[in-house]
Structure 1
Amino acid sequence: MSTGTGLETLVDRFFYFPGFGMFVTAEHVEQIETISIITNDGRNIVGVLKGFDQATNIILDESHERVYSTKEGVQQLVLGLYIIRGDNISIVGELDEELDASLDLSKLRAHPLKPVIH
């Protein structure tokens, strides 16, 4: 228990998660199941969030990479337990599992993403 102004308690409950671009609570992060990550080199990796640190290094389980093409449907390459370095992450987003399950990825066509330039 903090004896200060209460700011320490507030900081303990809220922390900045750069990938989400906002402050989130630890309780909110625990509720997040599946996330989608766009890396600086344009890869799309989807998996179950298992952990992260202050440098936005992320640990995913049951992960796969989605490879987009204009000629054929989305390929999903199984990665399993996977760690992504924070300095290689452009975007992190929570994935709506119900909506994602309703997509027929075999019929989805798209240009692959180009590398992100900062």
Structure 2
Amino acid sequence: MSQLQPYVDCKVSVVMTDGRLIVGTLRGLDQTTNIIVQGCQERIFSEDEPVEVVGLGLYMIRGDNIAVIGLVDEKADAALDLDSLRGEPLSPLKA
């Protein structure tokens, strides 16, 4: 079984190969690491502007578009002041 199975019903952060960051609750996955994330949002970083948060709702992500998946510490995430954070956007992965 997948090593991601314990993450089901937990809040996760997904870095995609195109550099996007998606945060939401992992609801399911299959043998090729395609995942379903519920209540998700994309966090868009900029060096000059606050973090832009775009609600996506229920989202399916193909396994070959995933670079990294990690658990989110919900207390630490809730304490983040996204209006004061700045950061350079991630670059897409290169093959």
**TM-score normalised by length of structure 1:** 0.76
Deviation at 1:29, TM superposition (A): 3.2
Q: For residue 59 of structure 2, what is the amino acid of its counterpart? A: Y
**Which structure has the larger Rg over C-alpha atoms?**
1
User: Which sections of structure 1, spanning at least 5 residues, go unmatched?
Assistant: 1-14, 21-25
Percent identity of paired positions between Structure 1 and Structure 2: 45
Distance 1:96 1:29 in 2: 12
Greater RCO (Cα-Cα under 8 Å, separation 6 or more): 2
Q: Deviations over 1:20-41 (max 9, x none)?
A: 6xxxxx5x334x5100000000
Q: Which residue of 2 aligns with 1:76?
A: 53
User: Which sections of structure 2, spanning at least 5 residues, go unmatched?
Assistant: none
Moved over 4 A (4+): none
Count of residues paired in the alignment? 95
Query: How big is the alpha-carbon RMSD for the aligned residues of Structure 1 and Structure 2?
Result: 1.3
Q: For residue 74 of structure 2, what is the amino acid of its counterpart? A: E
Distance 2:70 2:87 in 1: 19
Other structure's SS at 1:116 match: coil
**TM-score normalised by length of structure 2:** 0.93
Deviation at 1:91, TM superposition (A): 0.2
Q: For residue 81 of structure 1, what is the amino acid of its counterpart? A: L
Q: Which residue of 1 aligns with 2:63?
A: 86
Q: Which residue of 2 aligns with 1:3?
A: none
Deviation at 1:84, TM superposition (A): 0.3
